[in-house]
Structures are given as C-alpha cells and as structure tokens.
Structure 1
Amino acid sequence: MSISERHEIILNKLKETGKVNVQELSDELSVSEVTIRKDLRLLEDKNLLFRTHGGATLSNPYTSDRPVSEKAKVQAQEKEAIAKEAVKLIGDKDSIILASGTTVSALAREVYSQNNLTVITSSLDVSLTLSGRENIDITQLGGQLRPSSNSVVGPYAEDFLNNITCGILFLGVDGVDLEYGLTTTNLMEASLNQKFIEIAQYTVVLADHTKFGKRGFGRICTIDSIQHIITDSGTSQSIIQELEKKGIRVTVADLL
C-alpha cells in the first residue's frame, strides 16, 4: 500500500468517526506504529487533522483561555442541569471545596444549608454568591488574581491548604481526555487543582459534553485520580461506558 493510499484511508476514517487511534491503524494497515505516527504528522502539517495522545482527531482538541463572562454564556442550560445534580451530593455540616469555573459558579447558585456548611474556594464569584446566605462559612483563598476566571492561584493559596482536609471537591475543567486526563488552560490553576485533589476525600468533576476530547495547556491529573463525573445528556454513551469501566461514577443530568 502506498503512502497516499494510507493517508486516504486515515482521512476517510476521520470523516466517519471524528478520531483515529495509532494502534488500531497500525493493525488495520499492517504497518508499524512509527509509520502511522509519521503519517499523522504529515497530515497535520497539511492542516488535515490534529494529532492527539495515541491518535488524531478532525476537530481541534486544544482549548484556549477565554473570559469568564464569555464562558458563562456557553452551554448555560447544561451547566445549570449539572449544578442541580451536583448539589444533591452536599449534606448539612459538610466541608467542601468549590474550585473555579462557570459550572462551579452555577453550583454555588444552588447551594443553601440548614446547618453549618463550610466552603473553601478559590473563586471570587463563588464567595460573592454565597456571602449573603445563612449557615455557610466561607474561606476565600488568597493569592494571585486571574481576571479571566475571577479566581486566585499561586503558592500562597496552595500553602494555606497544607493543614486542611475536606470532604468533597467540586472541580471544573477545560478538557477531559480519557487517555491524557483532566486539563485546564493555566498551569498555576492546574497546580492549585492538584492540591485540591490531594486534600479532598472525594473529587467530583463538573463537565458538560463539550469538554470531552479536549485538552488545555495545564494537566491537572489522570482520569483515575477522580471518583465522580457529572455531565449532561450530550456526552456520548461510549465515553460514559469507558469512564465506568475505569471505576468512575458517572451522573448524567437531564436538561431542564
């Protein structure tokens, strides 16, 4: 088989499924994985695909940092539905971490408490949302302000967490890749999120369907570092099944 024939097969598979896998292509085309990787590199140079870890996709898998005001308008219904599912996990007298992100901010709008609830957050939006509500004690982390997310990052925030343990972490992300893991667009934010995961007993990721198959600049953790993902009905069943095979609980929120 010629190189042009291989490239035609690869591009046709991409059009059919949206992504290809190096190992599967190697087996199907009876060539080495090294050869397939070279093929993918050549096709990427021609702007015909985007290479990913272990394969390639037809759409750009990399996310860019956008202002929080812009992000809040995207998939707003999905985020609200996810938030209404997430709030069911919070009990009175719990201690929780609400990280940054517009889906986490949507969750904050749903949080009320009859008894004392302790909230630790890096998000200014979350603190402002919860500040007037009874029976909620808020610890706002300090540090370097990220205007694009209205949240803080940096060593000051991380050092504060050294003597803290917490029940549930609710984490927003910019990308969920089943092989590469969870990512965000900012390295310092990724580092703080790693610290959150370290001190939390249970980590819940809030991610609408557009986050799957995407990658941000900063890697937070591998998929097996979390326990639970709440998403919406736009997420494909194959992705949900793969997550469940890895032992991750998946909750699918119905759109309102």
Structure 2
Amino acid sequence: MDVADRLDLTLRLVQGSDRISVSELARRLGVSEMTVRRDLDALERQGLVRRVHGGAVATRAREEGAGFLAREPWQAATKDRLGASVAGMVEPGSRVLLDAGTTTVHVAEHLAARAPLTVAVLSLQAAIRLADRPGIELLVVGGRSRPGERSLVGPLAVRTLEFLVFDCFVMSIGGVHAEHGWSEFSLDDAAVKQVGLARAARTIAVADATKLGVRAFSRVAVLDAVDTFVTDTAATDPRTHPGGPATLEALREAGVHTVLT
C-alpha cells in the first residue's frame, strides 16, 4: 500500500470510530506504530483528524454534512483511481452526462484522454476541469448552484435534461444499500439523478467504499437501475466497512456489474 492510499484508509478508520488508538490502527493497517503516528501527524496538519493521547479522533462532520471544498481532500488517491477506471469505460465519441461530486471531478480529469466526447456536467467543479480541453464539447447543464456543493439542481436542470439523451450517465452517490438501493442526502440532487438515469442508455455509478451500506435521506432508484458500479477494494473488508461485502453481494444478485479498483 502506497502512502497516499494508506493515508486514505487511516482517515476512514478514524472517521468510522469515536476514537481509535495508534495500536489499533497499526494492527488494522499492518504497519508500525511509528508509521501510524507519522501518518496521523500528516492528517492533523490537513485538519482532518485531531491527535489525542494514544490515538486520534475525527475533526470534521461526516461527509454528508460537509461541503465540496471540505470533502475534496478526503481519500483523494482512492478517488483518483476510481476516476481513471470509470473514464476508461467511456467510449470515444460518446455523449456523457457527468454527475456532481468529489469523485466525479476525478472522472472529469481523466475524460480528456477519451476524446472526442460530448460531456454535459452537473457540477461547476467538473466544468472547470473540462473547459478548453481539446476534443471535449462541454455542455454546462442549467440550474441553481447548490451552496457549498456547486452542483446544478432544481427545475431548470431537470427541464434541460429532459430534452437531451445520453449514451452514458456517470452517477455519484451518497449511499448504496442492499435493501434501500441508491440514495442521496439532498432531495435536489436525488431528483436530478433520477432524470439522468431515465435519459441515459447506460449508467455507471461510482463511489468510494465508505458509501456501501449507507441509507441516505432520499431514495434515487432500486439497485438494478444501474448497469455498472465502480468502487475500491476496501469495500470487501468487513473490518473497515461492515456493510461492504453484503452490499456488493446484493448488487451482483441484482445484475449490476461490479468493478473493484
């Protein structure tokens, strides 16, 4: 495990516990306590954890309560790997609808290599990444920019999507649950995703493993509404993601092609 991925996993473990000890982190990560202390120091400098005697606690609210800029550094190495994997599934010449979210910004970064493409974006952050890229015809879907998220939502965004058709919808998600299906923390975001699902020939959902087993506030769709789900290999580890294995199994039973990267 390289340093960036180890920092990602360390942050997940801290956020998943009220408080976690250095010795417990060392055991779960398979590294020395000295390495753990060094990694915690690095995360503390970024303001993501707070060191306490013998361990660490998270310093920020859970991801659903934090804005885009607060979440952007979290698990960046993992999200970039997911972004590269998803972009590799997009055929040149496709018409793509790209959802909002911190992970889909990484997808945007890698889509330039798949040009020519027509990409409609639901995120001002993704628009910045794709603007002026050779071979990318960029469409910014109209709508209201949701404060803190810069995702494009509301009746204007929905109405615009209803007039378009896409070969592929790359969908981010707040939660995926074996029984509850795909869900979001914002009613506005959920409404836009539902239209995106209806207007695309296929949908690739992408999320890091922390989203598995999560039931967010607003249901987006049942599991089999999505064709492919891309997540990271940590989803198979019940020690760090108790809901991961069961959710992956439910997705496969629903006929969703699951890719671990």
Give the structure-1-normalised TM-score: 0.71
What are the residue-to-residue correspondences of 1:9-48 with 2, within 5 Å? none
Q: Name the counterpart of 1:217.
A: 217
| Residue 251 (structure 1) aligned to one of 248, 255, 259 | 259
Letter in 1 for 2:150: N
Whole-Å separation in 2 of the counterparts to 1:242 and 1:179: 8
Question: For each residue in 1:86-106, what CA deviation from the matched residue of structure 2 results, as whole angstroms up to 9, or x when unmatched?
Answer: 011112111001010000001
Letter in 2 for 1:143: G
Whole-Å separation in 1 of the counterparts to 2:63 and 2:187: 13
Q: Name the counterpart of 1:109.
A: 109
Question: For each residue in 1:133-156, what CA deviation from the matched residue of structure 2 results, as whole angstroms up to 9, or x when unmatched?
Answer: 011111101111112211110111
Whole-Å separation in 2 of the counterparts to 1:99 and 1:114: 17
Q: Name the counterpart of 1:160.
A: 160
Matched, 1:227 2:235: no
Contact 1:63 1:215 in 2 (8 A): no
RMSD: 1.6
Q: Name the counterpart of 2:125.
A: 125
Question: For each residue in 1:221-242, what CA deviation from the matched residue of structure 2 results, as whole angstroms up to 9, or x when unmatched?
Answer: 1111111100001012443233
Q: Name the counterpart of 1:239.
A: 247
Letter in 2 for 1:227: D
Any stretches of 5+ residues in structure 2 without a counterpart? 1-61, 237-244
Whole-Å separation in 2 of the counterparts to 1:186 and 1:238: 25
Q: Name the counterpart of 1:197.
A: 197
Matched, 1:182 2:182: yes
Structure 1 residue 115: Cα displacement: 4.8
Matched, 1:151 2:151: yes
Whole-Å separation in 2 of the counterparts to 1:130 and 1:182: 27
Whole-Å separation in 2 of the counterparts to 1:239 and 1:141: 32
What are the residue-to-residue correspondences of 1:65-76 with 2, within 5 Å? 65-76=65-76
Whole-Å separation in 2 of the counterparts to 1:147 and 1:63: 15
Structure number with bigger Rg: 1
Structure 1 residue 114: Cα displacement: 6.5
Contact 1:65 1:148 in 2 (8 A): no
Question: For each residue in 1:152-196, what CA deviation from the matched residue of structure 2 results, as whole angstroms up to 9, or x when unmatched?
Answer: 101111111222110111111111111101111110110011000
Q: Percent identity?
A: 25
Give the structure-2-normalised TM-score: 0.70
Any stretches of 5+ residues in structure 1 without a counterpart? 1-61
Whole-Å separation in 2 of the counterparts to 1:139 and 1:132: 12
Contact 2:224 2:256 in 1 (8 A): yes
Structure 1 residue 63: Cα displacement: 6.5
Which structure has more relative contact order (CA 8 Å, sep 6+)? It is: 1
Whole-Å separation in 2 of the counterparts to 1:136 and 1:78: 25
Q: Name the counterpart of 1:22.
A: none
Whole-Å separation in 2 of the counterparts to 1:114 and 1:198: 24
Whole-Å separation in 2 of the counterparts to 1:101 and 1:114: 20
